[in-house]
Amino acid sequence: MSPGALTMVADGLLELHGEQPRLIGTRCTACGSLYYPQALSCRNPGCREKTIQRAMLPTHGVLISYTVQRYQPPALFRIDDWKPYAIGLVDIGDGLEVMGMLSGFALDAIAIGSRVRLVVEPLYIDAARGPVLTYKFAPETET
């Protein structure tokens, strides 16, 4: 997969490093606060310097909370083959928690504290653009 072949659900969410997706965040150059999605400036009230720079985020984290979406979200959110799915809150380190859909978990067997990894999967097929992708968090596979 080349980066040019990807159509993401929104711009600026991630990029591929080889086969590995990386979320694109921003980091304050003064206080080090991390933001995802990308922020325009630092929002730390104790920070006087507001300069931020692009930061590639860690690809693994720990599931710290989740909920199961049991009704189909209204328009603007688009998904093919809708069925209930889980949304997780993942601690990816450096004080940043990222929300995303979960993939590869049985909805009745999701465990807080699970190690997860970032994956990219199709959300829907657009007639003109082809597969439209989003990031998700899947169980980390031990090797």
For the bound state, the minimum distance from the C-beta of residue 20 to Zn ion, rounded and expressed in Å, comes to 28
- Residue 137 token pair: 């968090």
Q: Is 85:68 a contact under the CB 8 Å cutoff?
A: yes
Of 46-54, 61-69, 83-91, 126-134, the window that binds Zn ion (rule: CB under 5 A) is 46-54
Q: Which of 71, 46, 67, 54 is nearest to 112 (CA)?
A: 67
Q: Residue-wise over 43-52: b if at least 16 C-beta within 10 A, else e?
A: eeeeeeeeeb
At residue 114's C-alpha, the angle toward residues 24 and 121, to 5°, is 45
Binding of Zn ion at residue 52 (CB under 5 A)? no
Binding of Zn ion at residue 39 (CB under 5 A)? no
How big is the site for Zn ion, counted in residues (CB under 5 A)?
A: 7
Binding of Zn ion at residue 47 (CB under 5 A)? yes
For the bound state, the minimum distance from the C-beta of residue 93 to Zn ion, rounded and expressed in Å, comes to 18
Rounded-to-integer distance, Cα 55 and Cα 71, Å: 34
Residue closer to Zn ion by CB (options 47, 110) is 47
Residue 65: strand, helix, or coil: strand
Of 15-23, 33-41, 108-116, 124-132, the window that binds Zn ion (rule: CB under 5 A) is 33-41
For the bound state, the minimum distance from the C-beta of residue 22 to Zn ion, rounded and expressed in Å, comes to 22
Query: By the criterion CB under 5 A, which residues form the site for Zn ion?
Result: 28, 30-31, 33, 42, 44, 47
